[in-house]
Amino acid sequence: MKISILGAGAMGSGIAQVAATAKHNVILFDTNAAALEKSEAKLKKIMARLVEKGRIDEATSTAIAGRITYAQDMQLFAGSGLVIEAIVENLDIKKSVFKQLESIVDADTILATNTSSLSVAAIAAACDKPARVVGIHFFNPAPLMKLVEIIPAIQTSDAVLTEAKSLIDSWGKLTVIAKDTPGFIVNRVARPFYGEALRILEEGIADAPTIDWAMTELGGFRMGPFTLMDYIGNDINYTVTETVFKAFYYDPRYKPAFTQKRLAEAGYLGRKTGKGYYNYGEGATNPEPTKDKVLGEKIMWRIVAMLINEAADALFWNVASRDDIDLAMTKGVNYPKGLLKWADEVGLQKCIDTLDELHSEYLEDRYRCSPLLRKMGREGQTFYSSEA
């Protein structure tokens, strides 16, 4: 099958590499010639590194690179079995592009969007044949991250959903099915990892290094929230939070933090600008964490309880299945364990009690306990009760 990718940024280039590695002929389109040149140069570097490490041989490297055509003419998309759009997160632009695509591709070509937070239904509505539109959300870097969220819009046909999932599975990815709701699984469930950490910082309970230490050393997360926000970019992380907040009709659970907004406004975006929550300048020293285990456990558990609550609520609202929610968080953002499994381990009542204590203290809807979590706790159930 011929695969076409729209957008030669980091995400589009990564998806093109994945498809070419799976032996598809790929058209990688961008209106910007410099972006295409940069993408091609970067792929050559990646291929050379893989050969150097003995992951692939020279012939395989040449074959993968040779399957990708870098194009500024969208007409080359004709004959594609699948087109994946990976451009700017702007609904009007995406809708315009999808409308244009329909005049080029075949009648049975699947049109996919890699959006991380926009409505797939709204994008599909721009098309004459909305049944062929589906969300296929890769995670960055696409060649390394195993997880892909497959998001059917209400218009998506069952046949298109089945074909899209089967194809991405054949590329060696782990797919999960998510309902077309803001943030899908990962970007929805992960919000408290950043939001609650920022809340703890703003309250002066602990500084960024201490919160990061608590989450990595005591929680087992690969990166602390502030290190991760600096890595993602505070502009990007803030925008995703704001998008999810607005999309959920300003639910206080997803409320952005002024601290991050101010960093983004100041241009302190993290690693890419040399300064964020930490200073990445040459010779810069950053504060050491306060390694108080009692404080650290309190911080870690407060954030994890909020994450568990979010995962339980995603299950309550049928955003995804139990297994897909836990798989998404372990494979999509490398959490140390599935959140619903974690809830079982510590005990659902402990989660409920923590949330109720926070709600009682702050009297904010932000800390409301998921009805599913409360009901299961009351009935003595567990998420994995049916298994040994």
If asked whether residues 253 and 200 sit together in one domain, one would say yes
If asked whether residues 214 and 300 sit together in one domain, one would say yes
Nearest of 114, 156, 117 to residue 136 by alpha carbon? 114
Q: Residues 184-226: pLDDT tens digits?
A: 999 999 999 999 999 999 999 999 999 999 999 999 999 999 9
Q: By CB neighbour count within 10 A (0-12 exposed, 13-18 middle, 19+ buried), where does 274 fall?
A: middle
If asked whether residues 141 and 215 sit together in one domain, one would say no
If asked whether residues 43 and 129 sit together in one domain, one would say yes
Tokens standing for residue 31: 């209106």
Average pLDDT, stretch 114-139? 96
Q: Place 388 in a pLDDT band, splitting at 50, 70 and 90.
A: very low
Tokens standing for residue 196: 């609650």
Looking at this protein, which amino acid is placed at residue 204? G
If asked whether residues 196 and 300 sit together in one domain, one would say yes
Residues 6 or more apart whose CB falls under 8 angstroms from that of 82 comprise 1, 3, 4, 109, 110, 112, 164, 167
Per the structure, the complete domain to which residue 358 belongs is given by 185-388
What is the domain-level CATH number for residue 155? 3.40.50.720
Q: Place 140 in a pLDDT band, splitting at 50, 70 and 90.
A: confident
If asked whether residues 141 and 255 sit together in one domain, one would say no
Average pLDDT, stretch 332-348? 96
Residues with catalytic function: 116, 137, 149, 187
DSSP classification of residue 217: I
If asked whether residues 73 and 155 sit together in one domain, one would say yes
Which of 138, 153, 177 terminates a domain? The answer is 177
Cα 310 to chain centroid distance, Å, stands at 15
